[in-house]
Chain A
Amino acid sequence: MAVEGIIIVDKERCKGCGICVINCPTKTLSLSKEVNGKGYNYVYMAKEGCIGCANCAVVCPDSAIVEVYRGRV
C-alpha cells in the first residue's frame, strides 16, 4: 500500500495566498469557496492523493498548516 498523508489546517490562520497550492506535488490542495472569519478563502484537501510530504507546511507563510501526518492506512 502506498504512503498517504493528511494535513490539519488552522482555518482562521490561513490567508488564502495560494503558495501551498502551487507547491503541492500531487495537486491535492485548493482554496475553498467558503471563507473564514476574516474573509479569506482557506486551503483544504480538495482531492485524494496527499502523500504527506509537508511541502505545503514548509512554504506556508502563516503556519496555517499546523500538522502533517504520513503513514500507511
Chain B
Amino acid sequence: MEREKLIKEENLAYRKTPLLTDAVMHYCPGCTHGTIHKMIAEVIEDMGIQEKTIGISPVGCAVFAYNYIDIDWQQAAHGRAPALATAIKRLNPYKYVFTYQGDGDLASIGTSEVIHACNRGENIVIIFINNAIYGMTGGQMAPTTLLGQITSTTPYGRRSDLNGFPLKMTEIVAKLDGTCYVTRQSAHTPLAVRKCKKAIRKAFENSMLNKGTSFIEIVSTCNSGWKLSPVKANKWMEENMFPFYPLGDVKDR
C-alpha cells in the first residue's frame, strides 16, 4: 500500500490525453489503430492545434476514427481522402489537414488520388497504415500483401505469377517531386512509438511551411486477419514485414 501514496499530481508521469474520447474503441485487442490514434491525439495536444486540425477518416476499420479523437473530421468515399483533403486544405490554408488511410484504401482503390495529391505537392499529411491485408472485410489479399503470405483469398500464399508483387507505396511517392517528407515507421514497441510520434509531429509542422506533402507509412499488424495473437502478430511483423518494408526516412527535404 506504500505505492499508493505516489498517486499525487506532482508525480504524474503519463496520462491519457483528453483529446481521446472516453468511447471504448471497437478495434480488436492489440490492433495498432488504437496506438496510432493515441499518437495522433498526443501530437495534436502537444502542438496545441485541436481547434485547427481536420482529419479525413477512410473506409475500413478506421472509419470510426471520428468517434475517438476530439477534433474536426470529414469522412471520405473509399480511397478519395487525399482529394477531399486537397479541397479542405485549399479552402482553409491555416488548418492542419491530415488523412488517415489503410492499405486497401490508399494502395488499392485510392492509388490515383494519393499519387496525384503527392505529385501536386498539396500541403497535407497522409498517414498510411500498412497491415498487408484487408482487415475489415475478412482478411483478403491487399496490394501490400507479402509474397507467400496466407490470406483468405490466397489460401496457399500470395504468388507473384498469379497475384503480382507487393506494392511499396512509400518508395513510389518518394520519387515524386511534390513530397517533402516520406518516412516509414512502426508502433509496436515504446521506442517505435516515440519515433513515430516525432515523425507525425514533423509532418504536421511541414504542412504549415508550404513544403509539400508529408507521407508517413506505419507498418502495423492485423492480428485477426493474420490469425495470430497480438503478441505473436508483432513478432511476425518484425520477422516478415520489416525485411520487405524497412523502417526509416526515405526522403526528407
Contact = CB atoms under 8 A, between A and B. Distances in A.
Interface of A: 4-6, 8, 12-13, 15-19, 21-23, 40, 48, 50, 52-55, 57-63, 65-71, 73
A71 B10 contact: yes
A58 B230 contact: no
29 contacts: A5-B3, A5-B6, A5-B13, A13-B24, A15-B29, A17-B230, A17-B231, A19-B231, A23-B190, A40-B29, A50-B3, A52-B11, A53-B13, A58-B190, A60-B34, A60-B38, A61-B30, A61-B33, A62-B24, A63-B16, A63-B20, A63-B34, A63-B38, A65-B14, A68-B12, A68-B13, A68-B14, A71-B8, A73-B6
Given A6-B7, A69-B11, 4 more contacts: A5-B6, A19-B234, A63-B16, A63-B38
Contacts of A5: 3, 6, 13
Interface string B11-29: 1111110001000110111
Contact of B230 (A4, A18, A55): A18
A20 B227 CA distance: 20
B229 interface: yes
Interface residues of B, number: 37
B81 to A, nearest CB: 22
Given A15-B29, A68-B13, A59 B231 contact: no
Most chain A CB within a 10 A radius of its CB, from B7, B13, B24, B29: B13
Nearest to B230: A17
A12 B27 CA distance: 14
A71 B188 CA distance: 27
B247 interface: no
Contact of A62 (B25, B187, B234): B25
Contact of A59 (B3, B189, B229): B189
B161 interface: no
A18 B28 CA distance: 13
Given A5-B6, A69-B8, A70-B11, A61 B190 contact: no
Contacts of A8: 7
Contacts of A13: 24
A68 B14 CA distance: 5
Contact of A19 (B10, B25, B230): B230
B35 A61 contact: yes
Contact of A18 (B4, B10, B27, B30): B30
A55 B33 CA distance: 18
Contact of B27 (A40, A61, A69, A73): A61
A67 B30 contact: no
Contacts of A66: 15-16
Contacts of B231: 17-19, 21-22
